[in-house]
Structure 1
Amino acid sequence: MQRTIVYAVAALFLLASGMAINEALTRAEVATAAKVLALDFWDAEEIDLALPDLEEQMKNLAEIGHAEIPNGLSPALVFNPVLRAEQLPASKTVSAPASAPEYITVIGGKLDLQWANIEQLSHMIFNRKVSCRRVAEFYLKRLKTHNPTLHCVITLTEERALAQADALDAELAAGKYRGLLHGIPYGAKDLLAAKGYPTTWGAKPYAGQTIDVDASVIEQLDAAGAVLVAKLSMGALAWGDVWYGEMTRNPWDTTKGSSGSSAGSASAVAAGLVPFAIGTETLGSIVSPSTVCGTTGLRPTFGRVSRHGAMALSWTMDKIGPITRSARDAGLVLAAIAHYDPRDGHAIEAGFQYHWPEAPKKGTRLGYYKSRMERDYPFHDQDSLALETLRRLGYTLVPIELPEEPDIRFVLNVEAAAAFESLTRSNRDDELTRQIRNAWPNVFRTAHFVPAVAYVQANRLRRQLMEDFDAALQAAEVDVYVNPSWHSNSLFITNLTGHPSITVPNGLNEEGTPTSITFTGKLFHEQAIIDVAAAYQAASGWDELHPKGF
């Protein structure tokens, strides 16, 4: 009996993943495989009838499973979050403020360069108070000094950065100014390819990998004048804060991790090692590290920012966005990277028309996730105070409820397993640092046991979720709603539906580390969530706090 079960489970894996076997399938093996797959429509005659087709299918699956498919090749099936044409922005072009600010605000009359925001640095560079090279050298030095503590850098791009900074200084001397990002250093999560430098994905099997292209986001930031100074750490294959080089640390408490998977991006910004960084989110990878590190994290609408040149984890859920010091900075960076690029098969032609945030008009409707925010959860006190601040600013808070999400998280697991099937089949998944149940090696293997029919059905339920969520926003008549950053289902729902959010610090917990609150908006309503977040930050000042020792 035990031998039969072993053979049956092996047959299940072969049916699901396509590995070939030398002996024919038996009725018992198929029956046990069907049981594990929760299928109860087989009887003995039906199995006998299906056996030849199942054996032929195993051969086909084996061929597909061993095909050499590059990570960047997306499926022919394309996800689009848009349900109605009117959800798209009116303009397909991109705009951003083109000139430096006319004034600079410095608290206490003194500006510590490591805590300068993009607007402040732009003012200094534009007015020749500091050169692009000096700024690049300053942040490179800080990265070198503090990386041994934070483990947030995988590769410094020093040669590229200094050459670019010198060229930008020459352009400025000649009267050419590229805009507010001219000469502003930044770091990129190491799943974004950069010419001439390793792109390791934070995983030991890819530690020596070089992808000799610039990711679309890096191309666009180059064009805007931003200066890449470092490839920043990430949890291996975009999970957590543990990579092959160490656990990335939280500057507020270096005994703890910075969460992930945009671990290095949030850590470096929080510690003043870069003015801004690029992160990615599939299911919380911008929100979570921004929460624990006290940074501002903007997750754009799905499809608004091209993922060409980025590691694929989930083609229907991956999103690229900025991690910054403030909502205003996040808007500036998004305006630079929201250019349509058809090399991403899921990209949507929807430019971002950025405008400087304005004070809220009294009576502006703002939703809040009532049932979740009235529960007892770790950030409840900070979130309640944030709601009071929003009321004082003139917002009319409108209770909103979200639909219950279907249990379809395996959509992400299946796509990730497909993206890294070669790693699983070659057994090189054994080289990944984390080898526990709740980690990629196990998730990749178990995802092979999800039937294709279930994956399709899950995506049908996903479509229903998109429609129900859209209906909830329309019924509440709000463009933006407030929700707890981690203790609600909003994070999961909106990563499935593709809606944008911005997470900002809103206090400190008992341990003295940051807490956060999240503003979520309708599709392509990034300006609206930036406006609310900027108003809240101006009133609360939590984004002005910085960790000590940096």
Structure 2
Amino acid sequence: MATTRRELLGGLAVGAGALAAGPAGAQERLTAESLDCAGGVFGVDYTGEEIEQMLIGLDDWADSMARFRAIDQPNTLQPATVFDPRLPGVAYDLPESGISLRSDGSSAMPVSDADIAFSPAWQQSAWLRNGQITSRRLTEIYLSRIERFSGELECFITVTPDIALAQADEADAAFARGEVAGPLQGLPYAMKDIIDIAGIRSTWGATPFQDRIAEETATVAANLRAAGAVLLGKSTSGAIAYNDLWFDGLTRNPWNTDEGSSGSSAGSASAVAAGLASFAIGTETLGSIISPSHRCGATGLRPTFGRVSRAGAMALCWSLDKIGPITRDVTDTGLVLAAINGSDPKDASSSDSAFGIDWSTDPSSFRVGYIPEIMENAAEPDRAAMQAVRDLGCELVEISLPELPYGALSTILQVEAAAAFEELTLSGRDDDLRWQEPRAWPNTWRRARLNSAVDFVNVDRFRRDVCQMMHSVFEDCDVIIGPNFAASMLLITNFTGHPSLILRSGFTERTLNPLTASGAERQEETFRMPYGSSLWAPLFREDRLILLGRAIQDRLGVANERPEAFS
């Protein structure tokens, strides 16, 4: 029998309801006793005769698995089975291609560097095109603010001033020639550190990879470069895209630096909210754009699964990972998505889907779904966002979700992530990660190896059922509004691939146990903190989210307030 945790984890097989060998010689041959014990783990009960039959051939299978695990499977290797959120036989309604700037972009530029830094990206873009500011000056403003504030926020792992200034000069030269690649030209941005840019550290926020230098540039970074955006540096990510704790710090919330910014797009949300970039790129597997945007008072757009290529980004869960923008203004999310949208043969899950926004569309024509019992008990900012929808004249539609075991879907994330980082588990390098709690990755990956492959497949089948359910819900409405984390909507729509927008809807009083510099908790204090609400739309209809979200934002008038310490 296995005598150590590593040998046991190396031997627990996903599937077959049995123990399999780890590295050759790591454990003795399988016995009836070991199979009987394994049955309790997998929730099955076999007779003694059945167990004796199961033993036949299992040693050979275990040896085969041991040889298989010796094969190198890099993080870039994608599974042969590819998730597609689109249902067979459904013709999806896509927006018309093309997006323009807002027509109200000709206002006078403020004198204060801080006022310029906190201005929406669409407004900065207008100033750049009108010659009211140069990309170099805008970039220098942000680099100065990064130098001044990023240490306190712990929101950048790598700053690239030389690259930024060179790219800004290129943008200015293109403007001088009358060449405009698009609305992002000359705008400085931050890239989440799990996305590769050749020659620059891409640490994945994790101790085992803290010295990793990217060899190739991710598709999303190449698309932003083609759009003329200016790279300021790599923003922090929670280790292996979880939480706000990374190998050398804890990314802070600009509204209260005694608490973390949430994660895992921790640095992207913190930097944007503190006015350290025009926009940032984040990723989401299960809440990593929505959660830090909520915590930091930013705006985040999680696109439809497959709309934005993940090629060159760290893979955590191949059937869930998504890349999207984090901004200060709803309009800006559309400008960024237009630049990074597009199919890519390097990403097996990539879809060829048009994206555009017709700003003349009146969002009051939308049917907006809501769950009555959720909104009745929602926080005040959520109710304010709902009232804004009502005041716009939208048709409100009551919806409901069937009571189903949605939590089972998380099995897919746990198992895929454990497969993506199996080497850390089997080698023991998972112990090098800073976060070591029952819900942290090291323990989640170990536990995932006890999942039955039969259960995993059946959960995947249930996922298809949930996709069909959400498709039916959206037959009755164009957009859904609600609290970010209520009614399992964040979990459900991540697994069904539906897009989501979070925007600031107000402020709440939150009671916290702030952390001291040593990490110890101080006495409870109450703070005024930003609060976000979510919108969800059918597959590929991010345009509806942005149009309605912009109208809600303009009506609520709470998006422009800044964190005082960074103003």
TM-score category by the smaller chain? over 0.9
SS at 2:259's partner residue?
Answer: strand
Secondary structure class of the residue paired with 2:226: helix
Deviation at 1:541, TM superposition (A): 1.2
1:74-473 correspondence runs (5 A): 74-90=78-94, 94-97=97-100, 101=103, 103-105=105-107, 112-356=115-359, 358-361=361-364, 364-375=366-377, 380-406=379-405, 407-473=408-474
- State the shift of 1:400 in Å: 0.9
Partner of residue 542 from structure 2, selected from 499, 515, 526? 526
- Asked if the contact 1:357/1:531 (under 8 Å) is kept, the reply is no
For residue 495 of structure 1, what is the aligned residue in structure 2? 494
Compute the TM-score of the two structures, normalised by the length of structure 1.
0.93
- Residue 387 of structure 1 aligns to a residue whose secondary structure is helix
Identify the range of structure 1 (530-539 vs 135-144) with the bigger mean alpha-carbon deviation. 135-144
Q: Secondary structure at the match of 2:466?
A: helix
Superposed CA deviations along residues 494-540 of structure 1, whole A, max 9, x for unmatched, are 01100001001111111211111100000111001111101000111
The verdict on how the C-alpha distance between 1:311 and 1:160 changes in structure 2, with shifts beyond 3 A counting, is same
- Residue 405 of structure 1 deviates from its aligned partner by 4.2
Counterpart for residue 506 of structure 1: 505
Q: Distance in 1 between matches of 2:5 and 2:116?
A: 64
Secondary structure at the aligned position of 1:279 is classed as strand
* 2:553 equivalent in structure 1: 537
SS at match of 1:543: coil
- Give the secondary-structure state (helix, strand or coil) at the position aligned to 1:549: helix
Q: CA deviation at 1:412?
A: 0.2
1:516 to 532, 545, 548: 532
Instruction: Give the conservation status (yes or no) of the 8 Å contact 2:238–2:265.
Output: yes
Deviation at 1:473, TM superposition (A): 2.1
What is the CA-CA distance between 1:178 and the residue it aligns to? 1.1
More displaced 10-residue stretch of structure 1: 530-539 or 157-166: 157-166
Cα distance 1:148–1:383, how it changes in 2: closer, same or farther (>3 A)? same
The superposition leaves residues 26-52 of structure 1 with CA deviations (integer Å, 9 ceiling, x where unpaired) of: 111111011111111x22222222213
Matches of 1:326 and 1:12, distance apart in 2: 46
Cα distance 1:8–1:250, how it changes in 2: closer, same or farther (>3 A)? closer
Corresponding residue for residue 481 of structure 1: 480
Task: Mark the CA change 1:357 to 1:161 in structure 2 (over 3 Å): closer, same or farther.
Answer: farther
Distance change in 2, residues 1:341/1:34 (3 Å): same
In structure 2, what is the Cα distance between the partners aligned to 1:458 and 1:26? 30
In structure 2, runs of 5+ residues without a counterpart are: 15-20, 510-526
Q: Which residue of 2 aligns with 1:64?
A: 68
Q: How far is 1:307 from its partner?
A: 0.2
> Cα 1:84–1:538, aligned 2, differ >3 Å: closer, same or farther?
farther
In the superposition, relative to structure 1, how do residues 440 and 15 fare at CA in structure 2: closer, same or farther (>3 Å)?
A: closer
Conservation of the 8 A alpha-carbon contact between 2:238 and 2:264: yes
Does residue 29 of structure 1 match 2:28? no
Worse-superposed segment, 442-451 or 17-26: 17-26
Aligned-pair CA distance for 1:360: 2.7
For 1:14, the equivalent position in structure 2 comes to 11
* Cα deviation code 1:142-190 (max 9, x no counterpart): 1111011100000012222111111111111112111211100000110
CA distance in 1, matches of 2:382, 2:183: 33
Give the C-alpha shift of residue 13 in structure 1: 5.7
Match of 1:544, SS state, is coil
Whether contact under 8 Å (1:340, 1:351) holds in the other structure is no
Number of residue equivalences: 538
Q: 1:114 deviation in Å?
A: 1.2
Worse-superposed segment, 50-59 or 388-397: 50-59
Letter in 1 for 2:438: R
How big is the shift at 1:107? 10
Contact in 1 for aligned 2:105/2:122 (Cα 8 Å): no
| Structure 1 Cα separation of the partners of residues 60 and 127 of structure 2 | 68
Describe the SS at the equivalent of 1:154: strand
Measure, in 2, the Cα distance between the counterparts of 1:331 and 1:323.
11
* Larger CA deviation: 460-469 vs 347-356: 347-356
Report the Cα distance in structure 1 between the residues aligned to 2:253 and 2:12, rounded to whole angstroms: 44
2:366 partner amino acid? T
* Structure 1 residue 103: Cα displacement: 3.5
Task: Write the deviation string for residues 301-346 of structure 1: whole angstroms up to 9, x where unpaired.
Answer: 0000000000000000111000011111001100100111110011
Q: In 2 relative to 1, CA 102–399 (structure 1 residues): closer, same or farther, beyond 3 Å?
A: closer
Q: Report deviation, 1:216.
A: 0.6
- Aligned-residue identity in percent: 42
Secondary structure of residue in 1 paired with 2:505: strand
